[in-house]
Structure 1
Amino acid sequence: MKLLPTVGIICMAAMITACQSSEKSEKANGQIQLITLDPGHFHAALVQKNRLEGVDSVVHVYAPDGPDLQLHLDKINGYNTRPENPTHWKEEVYKGADFLDKMIAERATSGKKGNVVVMAGNNGLKTDYIKKTIEAGFNVLADKPMVIEASKFEELKNAFASAEKNKVLLYDIMTERYEITTMLQRAFSQQAEVFGTLEKGTPENPAVTKESVHHFYKNVSGSILTRPAWFMDVTQQGEGIVDVTTHLVDLVQWECFPEQTIDYQKDISLTSARRWTTDMRLSQFKAITKQDVFPDYLKKDVVSDSILKVYSNGEINYQLKGVHAKVSVTWAYKAPEGAGDTHYSIMRGTKANLIIRQGAPQQYKPTLYIEAVPGSKDLEASIKTVLPKIQQEFPGVEVKKIGTGWEVVIPEKYKEGHEAHFGRVAQKYLDYLKAGSLPAWEVPNMIAKYYTTTQALELAKKQRAKE
């Protein structure tokens, strides 16, 4: 009988040794270990939709208990159990109100519970999460937006400074850089023989315009998305002008001034900004949240006891390095049958305009066009000249003549869809981690991007107050 405790101790010691050996092996192999912090948005799950090379299958989750966490775990389970290309994630979950402190404390005491924190959730809390997580020595991959109000902009700036000091990487998830029509719009804009040079534009006729239409009721990964009620609270999710426009401002920078550093104090000048609401009936709110009543924190935005007014729409007119740009986002409740979120974009060059359309004529699929500007000569010959350069990076891409110009014909292999782009961003971030740094322009340009959106919100509020 006395031998049993000894045997138990030996077995326990063996298990501990095996675990330590496993952890040492993982570290030796340079495996990344993910942590998901307070997942309140489905984007957190999309990072794990597919296997990520060099990432441990064990993912630590720290979150308060509740429906947001359960929805996240259900999505991960769906990826693990799907018939084709199932993933093999093992979610180790800590539930508790002290989840953030617990995550930081466990790293301090053991250092074994992950080294990259993925954040996609309540944006009102996100800037604080980022600051504390970076200061604790974690790398952070954060969904947009990193900040939703001007009063916290300096806190985000300080987080980037802490990241540099602690030798960790802070990066946001810019999926739209991986949409093929946007990639090709950027590529053609760098071919002077076709595009010429970027116009400067005017406030009335910007050189660059990007418009995005989104929908509260939508299908994600094969099922109707259940949104948390706080998604409709702009103090938690952020207004549209600081949320989805983050992508559009990023694309303006990324396409117009590729790999160039932007100084937010010198290169950005706001012209005007505006914001307006989307009205949602209680029955519509129920359909997307599965909640029968508006929670107390939304009642400030409810009129006539049944209409929720959400400031989800916004427009920014500004100058970037002297180039006039306009970005806008509109949220409707539900898309027309067969449609979905849509994107419109134009870059105006001195020889040609590059236009992405995604309406009914395009069957709601983004399509890139090249259209000559008045006075352009021999554009067709120029397109034929530069096409081989484009094809070096994008094999199989062609152009065809149409009545208004040329349509860029894109092979289906490039049309991955929005959900697949999260994996692309994550893999790019992992490459940066292996290299030990981000490109030199990324951090100042992230700071410039969030300066643009948060200052635009302040301007829109002031202009609204004058009306």
Structure 2
Amino acid sequence: MYKYLILALLGFHSISAQNTPKKKANNQKTDLKIVTLDPGHFHAALVQKTDLKGVSPEVYVYAPKGAELEQHLARINAYNSRSENPTHWHENVYEGLDYFEKMISEKKGDVVVMSGNNAKKTASILATVKAGMNVLADKPMCIDAKGYEQLKEAFKVAKQNNVLLYDIMTERSEITTVLQKELSQMPEIFGKLQEGTLEKPAIVKESVHHFYKFVSGAPLIRPSWFMDTKQQGEGIVDVTTHLVDLVQWAAFPETALQIQDAKLLKAKRWATNMTLDQFSTITGEKAFPAYMKNNLSDPNTLQIFANGEIDYTLKGHHAKVRVIWNYSTDKGGDTHYSIIRGTKSEIEITQTDALPQLSINSKNLSEADVKKAIETLSKTYEGLGYTKTESGYLINIPAKFRTGHESHFGEVMERFLHYYDANKLPAWEVPNMLLKYYITTQALELAKK
């Protein structure tokens, strides 16, 4: 796939905590092996934050030599070395400029995890499924209209070759999002989904993120290309992938949606300014790379089109998704807001600097109906409760369900492993992935007009 003038064939080496493989986790199977391709994003490591039942501790990593690979291996080593619940991964690493060709020719594993530079991700996905290998890809799987066409082809090829192609949708594991979906499917509590309007959509989802933050207890070092939207993708096609996915997943669960079910209404994009000092803090680089020269508003300020907003309808219901990227925050971390409006109530997620909170907003619901609904949900989510408020009811969620964003990657892996064992995805997943990326890439085109 990739052509190089010089090949640095450095061969395989292996690492684990203190360079010594640890004892396998209890009851761990070894029938599935993970391949990690060019792990330029920290999400690649989070997939391995816990041991996974049914997954071999032997992992094969293919990447060019450099800081991104070193940071990835350091994260895995930290998981292996921690005192509480250490993992048992053994990383077999191939370093070389021909890393992609080497991965394809050797086929050491069963599932290829891709989380890195998005400019080449879609082409890598297509080439990998053509080679008959399963792919679990971090979002976004494509960042523009051209990439979307490649992605459509990749899904066709994956089906022909009987392999799975799936993206990592961690937000489906967030407990407030899960319960919001559950409550919105209870007619006695929610009624029916409103049609909404452009000014007051039936569904709103917004997330706020930060370039400078902590991951696994340490300040996150980001690669320079992460701030280049030609490589990472603009905000409107990146994080909004999660938000569009949640709209479909919550409003029309287990329903195969088609392109004609969505209608784009408005889209806009805007930049976050980052100073050279800020850029240096999170990358370690002393200057902006030459490939960013067209993104500079002045010699010391980088403009990053990381923010975006999309207004559209889905099966006639108005939806709005919005993503914002700030440099950093003094309070908490990334935040999420969402509201789903029904004919009987609104189910709302709010978050400031603490944990997200879930509320049922309605002054007309009977407490008996709310109590019954919570008791029903408690059969699955033991310990769930509620508190009556001026606007309705605050849902009390036990701490054991507050697993956190980093833990959600393991939960996604567990779902994927279930699909892998069955050798198929749910019938609605592929058409909904195609619709999701159609919405985001077409919104980018609209926002640029």
TM-score (norm 2): 0.93
Deviations 1:97-141 (A, max 9, x none): 11111111113xxxxx10100000001110000000000011000
SS in 1 for 2:379: helix
8 Å Cα contact 1:104-1:133 kept in structure 2: yes
Tell me whether 1:333 sits opposite 2:327 in the alignment.
yes
Structure 2: how far apart are the matches of 1:260 and 1:235? Answer: 33
Aligned residue number for residue 154 of structure 1: 149
* Residue in structure 2 matching 1:355, options 323, 340, 348: 348
Deviations 1:382-441 (A, max 9, x none): 212222221122111111101221100000000010000000001110010001100000
Structure 2: how far apart are the matches of 1:102 and 1:377? Answer: 63
Q: Superposed, which structure 2 residues align to 1:61-460 within 5 Å?
A: 61-107=61-107, 113-264=108-259, 266-336=260-330, 338-359=331-352, 363-372=353-362, 377-460=364-447
The one-letter amino acid paired with 2:84 is: E
8 Å Cα contact 2:189-2:365 kept in structure 1: no
8 Å Cα contact 1:194-1:379 kept in structure 2: no
Structure 1: how far apart are the matches of 2:386 and 2:366? Answer: 12
Q: Which moved more, 1:416-425 or 1:400-409?
A: 400-409
Structural RMSD (CA):
1.0
Q: Which moved more, 1:404-413 or 1:383-392?
A: 383-392
Structure 2: how far apart are the matches of 1:98 and 1:106? Answer: 12
Structure 1: how far apart are the matches of 2:430 and 2:292? Answer: 35
Structure 1: stretches of 5+ with no match in the other structure: 1-28, 108-112, 463-467
TM-score (norm 1): 0.89
Deviation at 1:378, TM superposition (A): 4.0
% identical aligned pairs: 56
Which structure shows the bigger proportion of residues in helix conformation? 1
8 Å Cα contact 2:266-2:447 kept in structure 1: yes
Structure 2: how far apart are the matches of 1:151 and 1:277? Answer: 23
* 4+ runs deviating over 6 angstroms: none
SS in 2 for 1:217: coil
Deviation at 1:298, TM superposition (A): 1.2
Q: How many residues align?
A: 421
Larger Rg: 1
8 Å Cα contact 2:344-2:365 kept in structure 1: no
8 Å Cα contact 1:147-1:153 kept in structure 2: yes
Structure 2: stretches of 5+ with no match in the other structure: 1-28
